[in-house]
Amino acid sequence: MEINAVEFDKIAREVFAPIYPVIAEQIIARTGIKSGCCLDIGCGGGYLGLALARITELEMILFDESPEMLDLARGYIHDSGLEARVKTLQGDVHAIPLADGSVNLTISRGSLFFWEDQARAFREIYRVLAPGGMTCIGGGFGNKELLKQVEKEMLLRDPDWNNLRQQRVGKSKAADYKAKLEQAGINDFEINQDETGLWIMIRRSA
């Protein structure tokens, strides 16, 4: 399903903006990875990758299949002054155009729900992960207060928003993602779920 880049960007800027710095801090707390190469898969306008680049020394690759999203991301990279450390890359998560073992940290928020073959995507993500590398893939809104704030605003725009959220990160979804990870031959993973979202952490042993 194609996402309208301009419409999504408006929501990201007007509603989701406060969640990205909070999620970036949570990613550091969970992974401890602050340097090396980071791949933000399905980056959209690059909001999360940029929030993480601002507080780390990571070399960031903002990766998306949509040229329109990457055009927006390039504008935000320019505004951030982080051009030396943040690049864009166009491609599909099912065939990531990067070498084996070249990424230390993979992040991805709000994108996996759109991947046609999640097991294949997880295999690709694992392939590009360096020994000692980790992932934070999923969807969420940071904390309860931020979720409440986003929910209030999103329900005004789309009364079906909560149903859609449940379909993507609701209680029954963890078992589905576990099955897909196992299908991909990945054993060292955790699925962390609470009312604010669901995150898949994969570790590649050193």
Residues of this chain that bind ligand SAM (CB under 6 A): 3, 8, 12, 42-44, 47-48, 64-66, 69, 92-94, 109-111, 114-115
What minimum distance in Å lies between the beta carbon of 74 and ligand SAM?
A: 14
What minimum distance in Å lies between the beta carbon of 54 and ligand SAM?
A: 16
Nearer to ligand SAM, 133 or 197 (CB): 197
Nearer to ligand SAM, 24 or 33 (CB): 24
Nearer to ligand SAM, 66 or 196 (CB): 66
Nearer to ligand SAM, 99 or 188 (CB): 99
For residues 145 and 60, what is the distance between their CA atoms, to the nearest angstrom? 28
What minimum distance in Å lies between the beta carbon of 102 and ligand SAM?
A: 17
What minimum distance in Å lies between the beta carbon of 55 and ligand SAM?
A: 17
